[in-house]
Amino acid sequence: MINLREGKYFVQHRSVESLVEQYGSPLYVYDGNKIEEQIAKMRAAFSGVSVKLKYACKALTNVSIMRLMLKNNMDVDVVSIEEVQIALQVGFKPGQIQYTPSGVAFSEIEEALALGIRLNIDSLNLLEWFGEKYGNAHKIALRINPSILAGGNYKISTGHADSKFGIPVEYLDQILEMVKKYDLQIVGIHQHNGSDFKDGEVIVKAMRISLELAEKHFPNLEFIDMGSGFKVAYHEDDHITNIDLIAQDVVKEFKAFQGRYGRDIELWFEPGKFLVSECGTLLMTCNVVKHNPTRNFVHVDSGLNHLIRPMMYDAYQEIVNTSNADTAEMEIYDVVGYICETDTFGKDRKMPVVQPGDILAIKNAGAYCFTMSSNYNSRRKPAEILVYNEQVHLVRERETMEDIMRNQILVEL
Ligand code: LLP
């Protein structure tokens, strides 16, 4: 989260120049207090019911960010055995870790269960294998696919009929058969239908499907888990999630359900983007400004190796020139990376004139940015810093050449 004050950009009390001077470029910067603000917003919005928030740590898996979540009494949603291990190392108790795997090896499930982790089951095969091996020894939740198209981009839409995720609701009979056969303890119904929802009605519509299943077939539930997908503003004019408005409808619907169900159960969400997207900024330095006959290019010291969302999802990420903010002289640029691919961060961006050495900032770089980075072109990953209560913490070292060479074996041929 960067703020413009009197022609200069700051993260809390620190100017972006001073951060780059101290920690180098490119640099991921996270504002910890912004994360707390988002957590509070979500809790307040859903305060009418017993809401539990499980941070989807795939969005930003840095251990210090996860520690901040723990400090704020968050639980965590994980999607791999590696994330399970990280969450345990951060200090989450096994009971706070909900594992939502997608088509992983059964050995990974066994490992997680042995550690006391709770599981969302997302295929009929897995349900069968689980039943055969564990019967009613563990409480489990079912991830269902409600056949609803939602999400900002097809690649991040996960609840539609052609998606690989969840057990299609159409297979209810088979689910119930297995529940009976293995005496399964189903304590939750889970859905996650996509990221970047624009409309709250989608959540209500999807939730109704889970609530109906609960009422008709699953009398022993402890929770309904509605995953996440709450959109944040990537663009100034973006239609974003109005969390209070959505919550009003959701809470009303959920309360009415509890009346019919005969008791209060928990409502879970697994927010990633909503909590950590806006807190993050990628600071980069302009290497070269290139004027071609048809376009102006700003080349920065980063690329799709550090932030791939625009190239992968055609996602819009706002970019500002922090070094020249108070000039009236504007120019239109394509902001591009240094990777040998067409790695365009932003096309036709109007901004104060850029010169080599200027620091550019990509906003909304907290969620799915560092965690989706790679070493393509043998480039090193940036450092990450966390600014929290006006203190700056280095939370990941910049990679070194040794990191790039680690694990590679040069054989004499
Ligand atoms: N729960 C489950 C089971 C998920 O798969 C996800 C995200 C979440 C929760 C969190 O959703 P969120 O609050 O962040 O929307 N890389 C893409 C987003 C992929 C989301 C994957 N699953 C992007 O950069 O837009």
In this structure, are residues 157 and 194 in contact, taking their beta carbons and an 8 Å threshold?
A: yes
The catalytic position among 57, 279, 340, 369 is: 340
pLDDT band at 147 (very low <50, low <70, confident <90, very high): confident
Structure tokens at 202: 């989608």
Q: Domain 3-30+279-405 adopts which CATH fold?
A: Lyase, Ornithine Decarboxylase; Chain A, domain 1 (2.40.37)
Predicted local distance difference test score (pLDDT) of residue 174? 97
What are the C-alpha distances in Å from 93 to residues 85, 98, 141, 152, 341? 11, 11, 18, 33, 43
Predicted local distance difference test score (pLDDT) of residue 159? 76
pLDDT band at 26 (very low <50, low <70, confident <90, very high): very high
Predicted local distance difference test score (pLDDT) of residue 151? 63
Is residue 228 in contact with ligand 1, taking CB distance under 6 Å?
Answer: yes
Is residue 54 in contact with ligand 1, taking CB distance under 6 Å?
Answer: no
CB burial of 54-72 (b: ≥16 within 10 Å; e: otherwise) equals bbbbbbbbbebbbbbbbeb
pLDDT band at 384 (very low <50, low <70, confident <90, very high): very high
Task: Domain ranges for the chain, please list them.
Answer: 3-30+279-405, 46-274
Q: Is 340 a catalytic residue?
A: yes
pLDDT band at 367 (very low <50, low <70, confident <90, very high): very high
CATH number of 46-274: 3.20.20.10
Span 218-241, mean pLDDT?
85
* Average pLDDT over the chain, rounded to an integer: 94
Predicted local distance difference test score (pLDDT) of residue 150? 66
CA atoms 255, 259, 261, 266: torsion sign: positive
CB burial of 19-39 (b: ≥16 within 10 Å; e: otherwise) equals bbeebebbbbbbbbebbbebb
Span 130-134, mean pLDDT?
98
* Lowest-confidence pick of 140-144, 242-246, 334-338, 386-390: 242-246
Amino acid identity, residue 398?
R
Span 334-339, mean pLDDT?
98
Is residue 271 in contact with ligand 1, taking CB distance under 6 Å?
Answer: yes
Cis peptide before 26 (omega within 30 of 0): yes
Ligand 1 centroid to residue 151 C-alpha, Å: 10
- pLDDT surpasses 90 at 75: yes
Ligand 1 centroid to residue 126 C-alpha, Å: 22
- pLDDT surpasses 80 at 217: yes
Q: For ligand 1, what atom is nearest to the CA of residue 367?
A: 24
Span 310-333, mean pLDDT?
94
Is residue 273 in contact with ligand 1, taking CB distance under 6 Å?
Answer: yes
Question: Could you report how far apart the first and last alpha carbons of the chain are, in Å?
Answer: 51
Ligand 1 centroid to residue 189 C-alpha, Å: 18
- pLDDT surpasses 70 at 66: yes
Span 375-389, mean pLDDT?
98
Residue-wise pLDDT tens digits, 179-204? 999 999 999 999 998 777 767 778 89
Ligand 1 centroid to residue 292 C-alpha, Å: 38
Is residue 270 in contact with ligand 1, taking CB distance under 6 Å?
Answer: yes
In 10 A of CB 278, how many CB atoms? 22
Predicted local distance difference test score (pLDDT) of residue 236? 72
Span 384-399, mean pLDDT?
98
Between residues 30 and 147, the one the model is more confident about: 30
List the residue whose alpha carbon is closest to atom 23 of ligand 1.
368
Place of tokens 């009971």: 95
Closest Cα partner for 217 from 251, 254, 175? 175
Predicted local distance difference test score (pLDDT) of residue 400? 98
CA distance 51 to 45: 10
pLDDT band at 348 (very low <50, low <70, confident <90, very high): very high
pLDDT band at 156 (very low <50, low <70, confident <90, very high): low
Predicted local distance difference test score (pLDDT) of residue 152? 63
Report pTM: 0.96
Task: Note the Cα 193 to chain centre separation in Å.
Answer: 14
Ligand 1 centroid to residue 82 C-alpha, Å: 17
Q: For ligand 1, what atom is nearest to the CA of residue 143?
A: 3
CA distance 247 to 175: 30
Is residue 233 in contact with ligand 1, taking CB distance under 6 Å?
Answer: no
Is residue 23 in contact with ligand 1, taking CB distance under 6 Å?
Answer: no
Predicted local distance difference test score (pLDDT) of residue 33? 98
